[in-house]
Amino acid sequence: MTQRFDKLALLVSDTERAQEAARELREIHPWVDVEEADAAVVLGGDGFMLHTLHAMLTGRRVIPVYGMNLGTVGFLMNRFREPAKLLRRLERARAVDIAPLWMEATTQDGNTHSHSAINEVSLLRETRQTAKIAIEVDDRVRIKELVCDGILLATPAGSTAYNLSANGPILPLDSQLLALTPISAFRPRRWRGAILPDRSRVTLRVLEPDKRPVSVVADQKEVRDVAEVTIAISRERALQLLFDPGHALDERIVAEQFMV
């Protein structure tokens, strides 16, 4: 099945490689402002792609995004090749819907901060003292006291990022699951985390917050000195990524599990 995007926006990171590629693309296609576009072509790496997606979440319009990798890893991107065939690649691209996490964090002084996360929400100790965190899933206490450096909740799209580095599981994109993964757990030492249905609502409560302060990071947004964090999938804020046939995100997730 082919699809047609009549108006395209070009979003480019400030790296030299991305800027050079943008000059080439501007010569072969007319581009419009992102507010007028049917879809966006993004040049850069995963960091710039996350920046672009977050800008859409906080703006008024969410449109399909087709990334071309001119960064390092490019997990969320397609290969940069054959710029002259870009329109044909877009017509054949497979659309993948990604629902971000929505985090609400209450700080020790009682203020509330809300942010979205496409990859993960992570809690991390701020000092040399280990963190102590109580874990609730759907209002039921699952662990009364986790002693650790931190803990994170990852989406399937983010399961190969920080989550994988913390020895968390890789989740297929269509699994409808979330990965709850401890970071350097000390007690209970043998707890390796949990795989949860993506309809779950996770509450992480910081114990002894004055003595053991903890910060929370939603992708790139940090809130310090938190007392409690609640996280759930935000389906009404779903994003759409476009991938070349054979290079879709779910295939990359499977392939990543065989990397040695």
pLDDT in tens, 202-215: 999 999 999 999 99
The C-alpha atoms of residue 161 and residue 11 are separated, in whole angstroms, by: 23
pTM comes to: 0.86
Question: Quick one: pLDDT at residue 247?
Answer: 67
At residue 21, the 3 state secondary structure works out as helix
Produce one character per residue of 46-84: b if its CB has 16 or more CB atoms within 10 Å, e if not: bebbbebbbebbeeeeebbbbbbbbbeebbbbbebeeee
Average pLDDT, the chain: 92
Question: Quick one: pLDDT at residue 2?
Answer: 63
Question: Quick one: pLDDT at residue 255?
Answer: 73
Residue 41 makes CB contacts below 8 A (sequence gap 6+) with: 8, 9, 10, 11, 25, 65, 66, 67, 68, 86, 90
Binding-site residue numbers are 46-47, 51, 119-120, 149, 157, 160-165
Q: Would you kindly state where each structural domain of the chain is located, as residue ranges?
A: 8-99+238-256, 101-235
Binding-site residue numbers for NAD(+) are 46-47, 51, 119-120, 149, 157, 160-165
- Rounded-to-5 percentages of helix, strand, coil across the chain: 20, 40, 40
Q: Which of 187, 181, 144 is nearest to 164 (CA)?
A: 181
207: how many CB neighbours lie within 10 A of its CB? 16
Question: 177-234, pLDDT tens digit by residue?
Answer: 999 999 999 999 889 999 999 999 999 999 999 999 999 999 989 999 999 999 999 9
Q: Is 101:204 a contact under the CB 8 Å cutoff?
A: no
User: Which residue is catalytic, options 46, 109, 210, 219?
Assistant: 46
Residue 121 makes CB contacts below 8 A (sequence gap 6+) with: 101, 103, 152, 153, 216, 217, 218, 229, 231
Fold of 101-235: Tumour Suppressor Smad4 (2.60.200)
Return the sign of the alpha-carbon dihedral for residues 57, 58, 63, 65.
negative
- Tokens representing 235 are 């389906």
Question: 232-252, pLDDT tens digit by residue?
Answer: 999 988 999 999 987 666 676
46 is known as an active-site residue: yes
Question: Quick one: pLDDT at residue 78?
Answer: 92
Please tell us whether the domain made up of 8-99+238-256 is placed in CATH 3.40.50.10330.
yes
Question: Quick one: pLDDT at residue 256?
Answer: 72
Which residue ranges in the chain fall short of pLDDT 70? 1-2, 247-250, 252, 259-260
